[in-house]
Amino acid sequence: MDPRAENRLTFLGTGTSQGVPLIGCHCPVCRSDDPRDKRLRTSALITLHGDNFLIDAGPDFRQQMLTHHVENLRAILLTHEHVDHIFGLDDIRAFNWIQKRPADIYAERRVHTAIRRIFHYVFARWRYPGIPQMELHDVSDLPFRIGNAEFTPIRCFHHKLPVLGFRTGDLTYLTDVNAIPEKEMKKIRGTRILVVNALRHEKHISHFNLEEALRLIEEISPRYSYLTHLSHSLGKHLDVEKTLPGNVFLAYDGLSVTL
């Protein structure tokens, strides 16, 4: 990457664990011709100081990398261990080959345990030729640096499951969240760009709905906010965005924001 490249956030996927459209669904959103209503599993690419940092690597990882012509990754940051956030990790093999090194993966130890179980063949004593290569790095509640970039983990909850959001500079990225402890809110305050999940209109057991996401945005008062991890039941992109405050936007796959 060119070290002079612009710092950017690119939404690679903005959908739920099933994506949008859903298999077999014939609702107006799933039948929409608007490309903004076609949503892969939630993931984002943050480009900082010429390096690419990926947040989450779900089942659409390969397609997302090809679509956006991503040919190098400095590191992968994982919010939690659910399938729609880690099941693309087998495809890091391409980056192992291109970059001639294991992929650096940053996550909590609990997530490491899940990775070692699911991708057990990566860590086996006898390893089949061509399998992925991973270097797992522990993330605690303390800020950490990767090259020239600094990230601050933000403890959130996905129902009863502890998950992480991440802040870097004036950007805070939260997904699969329905509760944030007050002490963690302090890490978010002052954010200029806030990304947060807003699953649907109805209340949900493990995700913010639209009303709750807007309430968080109002409390944090960032300059711009983008809603992600959106289900088909939220409605069509064009219709929903008309109802939002002027500085709040529905993210969509491929949207790129200057940081």
Q: Which of 200, 226, 219 is nearest to 211 (CA)?
A: 200
- Number of separate domains in the chain: 1
Q: Say yes or no to pLDDT of 3 above 80.
A: no
40-60, pLDDT tens digit by residue?
A: 999 999 999 999 999 999 999
- Identity of residue 118: I
CA dist 128 and 82 (Å) reads 25
Is residue 43 a part of any domain in this protein?
yes
Q: Say yes or no to pLDDT of 84 above 70.
A: yes
pLDDT for res 129 = 84
Is residue 125 a part of any domain in this protein?
yes
Q: How confident is the model at residue 138 (pLDDT cuts 50, 70, 90)?
A: very high
Q: How far is CA 24 from CA 20, 21, 27, 33, 60, in A?
A: 11, 8, 9, 16, 19
Q: Which of 59, 35, 55 is nearest to 43 (CA)?
A: 55
Bridge partners of 224, per DSSP, are 193
CA dist 180 and 156 (Å) reads 5
65-69, 128-132, 205-209, 248-252: least confident range:
128-132
Is residue 179 a part of any domain in this protein?
yes
Structural domain containing residue 40:
8-249
Burial class (CB in 10 A: 0-12, 13-18, 19+), 4: exposed
Q: How confident is the model at residue 128 (pLDDT cuts 50, 70, 90)?
A: confident
Percent with pLDDT over 70 in the chain: 98
Is residue 1 a part of any domain in this protein?
no
- Strands of the chain (E only): list them: 8-13, 43-48, 51-55, 75-77, 103-107, 134-138, 144-146, 149-158, 161-168, 171-173, 193-197, 224-228, 248-250, 256-258
Q: How confident is the model at residue 23 (pLDDT cuts 50, 70, 90)?
A: very high
Which of the two residues, 250 and 5, has the higher pLDDT score?
250
Q: pLDDT averaged over the chain?
A: 96
Q: How confident is the model at residue 140 (pLDDT cuts 50, 70, 90)?
A: very high
Is residue 2 a part of any domain in this protein?
no
CA dist 14 and 26 (Å) reads 20
CA dist 178 and 196 (Å) reads 10
CA dist 132 and 256 (Å) reads 29
Token pair listed for 202: 């109805």
Is residue 259 a part of any domain in this protein?
no
CB atoms within 10 A of CB 91: 18
CATH code of the domain covering residue 196: 3.60.15.10
Is residue 211 a part of any domain in this protein?
yes
pLDDT for res 5 = 61
Q: Say yes or no to pLDDT of 213 above 60.
A: yes
Is residue 104 a part of any domain in this protein?
yes
